[in-house]
Amino acid sequence: MLTITFALSLTAGAQNYKSTICQPASTAASSQGKASSAQMVTFQYRNDKAKDVQVDVQFAGRKPMTKDPKTGLWTATLGPAAPDMYPYCFVVDGVSVMDPMCDQYFPNEGFKNSLLDIPNPDAPMWHDINTCPHGTVQYIRYHSTSLGGVNNAIVYTPPTYGIDKQKRYPVFYLISGTTDTEEVYYKVGRMNYILDNLLAAGLAQEMIIVLPYGNPTKLLPPSPAGMAPGMMMRDVVGEDLIGDLMPYIESHYRTINDSDHRAIGGFSRGGNQGLGIGLRHLDKFSYLCSYSSFTSTDIPGVYDNAQQTNDRINLFWLGVGTDDFLYGNARDYMQHLDDHGIRCVKEYTDDKFGHTWMNARFFLAHTMQLLFNKEASRKAMDAATPTKAKTGQEQQFTAGVMARLFPRQVASPEWQDGRVTLRINAPEAKSVKLEGEMLAKPTDMQKDADGVWSITLSQHIEDVYKYCFVVDGTRVADPTNMYLSPDKGFKYSILTNPQSKDYVQNVHAAAFGKVVYDLNGHSATYVPAELIDEYEQGGIDAVKAKAAVIQVVPGKDDTIESWFKVGGVDVMADQLLADGAKPVIITTQKIAGAKVVKADAYKTWRQRRDAVRKIIR
């Protein structure tokens, strides 16, 4: 029996149980055609106060769960399911909740899902976390003149980047979809593990991967008038990527800066953005990839000049599922390219549940084997087939589909005059409370006629706090707050006042440091801007003589991300350094001579941050 071992901690009073258990299906064949590869999955959930529980998982939809009167566990066995990685959640008395026993989660602006990773006992998958050299994943911030604020991105550097200090690398800009954050192609798309595995197998070129955020205006502080009309009319993502992010990457990383060594693409909205940016800047990109998407058919100088366009593109690759709600639009775009003589590779699937990250990972693994390899790309382009014939039954993306998939959500948290209002839509709930570090005890929320519960905190919130809603006794992260605490077990939402001096948009540092996640050593390290180049050359040993070193030890329910994503010690350090403090390295690594701050020595994140702040000052 194969067990999914996400669970590392238990909720108070819960029995010792795994949230999901997989075992091979004995009869029915999987969607990949191998009976031995298909898995039956048992979901387990403990909630003594729930009256009705369902599990909602991408390979099966929403299914009822049954409560065992002896154990108190709600269970459902579903499948067979093909080995892959699926988002899922529990629906408890009408409210969606993440699995409190699952560490892996789907970062998103809106919905909150856990992740089920079903292994393949017959053959490994490209996104598996295998024993091989891993690259690093770095969280960066940079000043964006086009945005008029600070933007985020994630950068992957391959395993050799820190070894061969002279080598320069091509760059792949890879954008996630609608409501996704810049983390999704990392935590759900597993772009880093896919490339690690392909490199270990000798099937891909070494490259740097950059994950931009596809909705950067959401990072700006709220204003009474909302987004400025001028910004709504601009291609903010394209302007930022070309004018701000790309110059940052090329000045901070060892890149090869020509069109033959730049690629751009993405999934869903990110595919549209990537193709649009790439086709408008063929002087900068010669590898274009679209996963489950399409883009404008009105780009001057591109479709009406096929010979020149074809000469400038090494690889034009489009993939979509025939069961995708965007299939009709994507097929029509492929046909448009055929009709205008634009060469492109087309790939279709019919077994990955439509517009899903199963498709996004599958397509990514295919295109990574072609990127920055002119010969392989030429062969793929030469072997490309015409667009599938139109049947008249193709799904089309419409305003109605958009409204169904992305319903309008309540605003939470919402800031005004230094006060914050928190809301959750729970029309069937009898009681909803707010629980958080900023409160002495859980506090009742009020329900309006539409079933939306809300509470306004009158006290001034000046720090970072974890909070959640308690819906009829069940803890629920704020569904519309994109900032989620990466805890083991239940994951709280994060509350930060956008007017706070430590809020990233208010930090007046000339340049930002970055947080480097070493996936081989399982550590996280903040490096200040002035020491980044030396750190890249020799790691902490090369810079520790020039900076104070603070070892931050995660608490029992924390991960290596917690000190940075919740504690915000990297942002705090940037601000203090801008105010005149001496350089500091903050790391979860054990370093001789470092000052040590243990999370479990303090009750709240505010106290933890203050302990680090005192050392920096």
Helix residue spans in 397-508 (DSSP H): 399-405
Q: Both tokens of residue 341?
A: 């003589």
Residue 432 banded pLDDT, cuts 50, 70, 90: very high
Token readout for 241 is 């990527």
What integer pLDDT is reported at residue 9 of this predicted model? 26
DSSP H helix total and E strand total for the chain:
16, 33
Residues in the chain: 617
Q: Report the percent of the chain where pLDDT is more than 90.
A: 78
Q: Give pLDDT, residue 12.
A: 28
Look at the block and give the residue holding tokens 């990127």. 371
Q: Is 143 exposed, middle or buried (0-12, 13-18, 19+ CB in 10 A)?
A: middle
When pLDDT is averaged across residues 554-571 and rounded to a whole number, the result is: 96
Highest averaged pLDDT of the listed ranges 35-44, 392-401, 604-613: 604-613
- Residues 199-214, mean pLDDT to the nearest whole number: 97
Question: In this predicted model, what pLDDT tens digit does every residue of 95-119 receive, in sequence order?
Answer: 999 999 999 999 999 889 999 999 9
H or E segment to which residue 318 belongs: strand 315-321
pLDDT of residue 343: 97
Q: Report the distance separating Cα 160 and Cα 167, nearest Å.
A: 9
Distance CA 580, CA 330 (A): 53
Cβ contacts of 155 within 8 Å, gap of 6 or more: 137, 138, 140, 208, 209, 210, 211, 249, 253
pLDDT band at 231 (very low <50, low <70, confident <90, very high): low
DSSP state of 352: S
Instruction: Compute the distance between CA of residue 343 and CA of residue 378 in angstroms, rounded to an integer.
Output: 10
Cα distance between residue 397 and residue 353, in whole Å: 16
Which pLDDT score is estimated for 2?
28
Residue 75 confidence class, pLDDT cut points 50, 70, 90: very high
pLDDT of res. 500: 81
* Predicted local distance difference test score (pLDDT) of residue 25: 59
For 524, the enclosing helix (H) or strand (E) is: strand 523-527
Q: How far apart are CA 170 and CA 470, in angstroms?
A: 48
Going by C-beta distance under 8 Å and a sequence separation of 6 or more, which residues neighbour residue 328? Answer: 394, 395, 396, 397
| Lowest-pLDDT range of 318-332, 352-366, 528-542, 561-575 | 528-542
CA distance 208 to 136: 10
Q: Which domains does the chain have, with CATH numbers?
A: 2-117 (2.60.40.10), 136-382 (3.40.50.1820), 414-496 (2.60.40.10), 512-616 (no CATH)
Cα 185 from Cα 49, distance rounded (Å): 36
pTM assigned to the model: 0.93
Average pLDDT, stretch 383-412? Answer: 86
Asked if the model's pLDDT at residue 13 lies above 70, the reply is no
Which of the pair, 233 or 256, is modelled with greater confidence? 256
Higher pLDDT, 225 or 252: 252
Cα-based angle 277, 279, 282 (whole degrees, multiple of 5): 100
Which residue is it, tokens 């080995």? Answer: 83
